[in-house]
């Protein structure tokens, strides 16, 4: 054996030993401990419900089987929780976080003055759900198709200017010249749905999972109808539903919409604070992947009608990297059209 081959063999053995030592190290660390999951959304909402569902099953997929507690830290469209995770949360692998899927693009665009983070520095654990976004209106709304959005005002309900409920219609107004009127101040999607039934607003822009799962009756009973979906690809639940991308008049408009709306691909993201030990991040990544494929979780998610589609951490890291590769002219335009969350 040559000196070079001996060195290669020694290096290979070291890698194998290191791989086997990770689970043992994780078991030694996590045994008897409790992991805190900070959720930036209010109790009872989509992010909160999904987080609690996940952690009910995640502990048994982590060596040492630690416990979990969930702490809600809502406020400023999840900016409060995001800043806490970035600057104040312990970096020992015992604090995870969940924030809005819009946070990476908001941070990249630097439109929110008190959101001072670099999303590339988080330890991305993974995400759950891959929702299609739709805009729906009540059955008696004057808007019958996307064409009507360019000729008449359509009132959409929202919780706040930086929320997902506001971003989609506001961006379409500023990019495609639609005529949405966004009424803010509702507590969230459930309150907007009540406002639709009362006739206070015409509709809502939200992930389709809201209507596929919790409120399927609204579509089935034709109380609301889907005007369009906000992805370039075909709408998987109904190919006849038009894509708003088909209303883009230029390639730059289409690329701009793709850049701004890419946030949906983050699903419901989960992270560790910057600087958390790499081996603990990898442990939690493996645990999350196993958890979201666990038959017990899948069955419970089906009963709760929750979309828990697994989003690998590597995909989320690529999405963040892609944000920072966007041409400057589109970045400048995005900063002009994406609404800023108000405190």
What is the residue whose two structure tokens read 């994780």? 26
What is each CA distance from 214 to 150, 217, 237, 253, in whole angstroms?
A: 30, 8, 16, 33
Q: Which of 125, 38, 51, 46 is nearest to 83 (CA)?
A: 38
Residue 335 near residue 111, CB atoms below 8 Å: yes
Sheet holding 133-138, edge to edge: 180-183, 154-157, 203-207, 133-138, 224-229
Q: What is the per-residue pLDDT across 251-288, written as a single tens digit (0 to 9) for each?
A: 999 999 999 888 888 999 999 999 999 999 999 999 99
What does residue 98 show for φ and ψ, rounded to 5 degrees?
A: -130, 125
Helices (H) and strands (E) in the chain, counts: 13, 11
Least confident interval from 36-40, 129-133, 190-194, 293-297 = 129-133
Q: Which of 317, 234, 214, 307 is nearest to 267 (CA)?
A: 307
Q: What is the per-residue pLDDT across 236-247, written as a single tens digit (0 to 9) for each?
A: 788 899 999 999
Burial string for 264-283 (b: 16+ CB within 10 Å, else e) reads bbbbbbbbbbbebbeebbbb
For the residues of 278-312, what is the DSSP string, one character each? HHHHHHHHHHHHHHHT-HHHHHHHHHHT----EEE
Dig out the tokens for 24 from the structure. Answer: 């043992």
Q: What is the per-residue pLDDT across 293-336, written as a single tens digit (0 to 9) for each?
A: 999 999 999 998 888 999 999 999 999 998 998 999 999 999 89
Q: What is the per-residue pLDDT across 7-29, written as a single tens digit (0 to 9) for each?
A: 455 445 444 444 444 566 777 89
Average of pLDDT values for 86-113? 93
Q: What is the per-residue pLDDT across 180-238, written as a single tens digit (0 to 9) for each?
A: 999 999 988 889 999 999 999 999 999 887 887 778 889 889 999 999 999 888 887 88
- Report the C-alpha gap between 138 and 120 in whole angstroms: 40
Average of pLDDT values for 64-82? 95
**Residue 134 exposure: Cα atoms within 13 Å on the Cβ side:** 24
Which domains occur in the chain, in start order? Answer: 19-129+267-326 (3.40.190.150), 133-262 (3.40.190.10)
Average of pLDDT values for 43-61? 95
Contacts for 30 with CB less than 8 Å, ≥ 6 apart: 62, 63, 64, 65, 66, 93, 283
Strands (E), the chain: 34-39, 67-72, 95-98, 123-128, 133-138, 154-157, 180-183, 203-207, 224-229, 268-272, 310-312
- Report the C-alpha gap between 80 and 74 in whole angstroms: 7
- Report the C-alpha gap between 99 and 47 in whole angstroms: 8
Q: Which of 209, 263, 204 is nearest to 231 (CA)?
A: 263
3-state SS assignment for residue 273 = coil
Residue 98 near residue 73, CB atoms below 8 Å: no
């Amino acid at each position: 054996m040559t000196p070079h081959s001996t060195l290669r063999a020694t290096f290979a053995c070291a890698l194998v030993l290191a791989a086997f030592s990770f689970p043992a190290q994780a078991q030694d660390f996590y045994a008897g401990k409790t992991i805190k999951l900070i959720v930036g959304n209010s109790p009872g909402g989509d992010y909160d419900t999904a987080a609690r569902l996940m952690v009910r099953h995640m502990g048994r997929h982590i060596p040492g089987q630690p416990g979990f507690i969930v702490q809600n830290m809502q406020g400023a469209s999840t900016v409060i929780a995001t800043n806490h995770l970035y600057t104040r949360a312990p970096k020992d692998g015992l604090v995870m976080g969940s924030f809005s899927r819009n946070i990476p693009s908001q941070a990249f665009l630097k439109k929110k003055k008190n959101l001072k983070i670099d999303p590339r520095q988080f330890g991305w654990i993974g995400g759950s759900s891959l929702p299609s976004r739709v805009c729906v209106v009540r059955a008696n709304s004057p808007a019958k198709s996307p064409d009507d959005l360019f000729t008449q005002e359509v009132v959409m309900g929202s919780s706040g200017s930086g929320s997902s409920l506001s971003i989609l219609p506001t961006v379409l107004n500023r990019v495609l010249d639609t005529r949405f009127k966004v009424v803010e101040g509702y507590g969230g999607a459930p309150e907007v749905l009540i406002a639709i039934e009362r006739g206070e607003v015409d509709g809502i822009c939200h992930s389709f999972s809201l209507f596929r799962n919790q409120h399927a009756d609204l579509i089935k009973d034709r109380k609301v109808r889907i005007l369009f979906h906000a992805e370039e690809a075909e709408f998987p639940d109904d190919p006849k539903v038009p894509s708003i991308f088909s209303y883009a008049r230029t390639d730059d408009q289409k690329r701009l919409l793709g850049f701004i709306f890419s946030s949906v691909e983050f699903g419901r993201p989960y992270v560790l604070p910057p600087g958390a030990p790499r081996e603990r991040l990898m442990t939690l990544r493996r645990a999350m992947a196993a958890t979201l494929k666990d038959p017990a979780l899948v069955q419970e998610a089906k009963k709760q009608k929750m979309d828990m589609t697994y989003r690998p951490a590597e995909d989320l890291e690529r999405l963040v990297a892609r944000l920072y590769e966007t041409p400057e002219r589109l970045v400048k335009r995005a900063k002009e059209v994406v609404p800023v969350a108000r405190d």
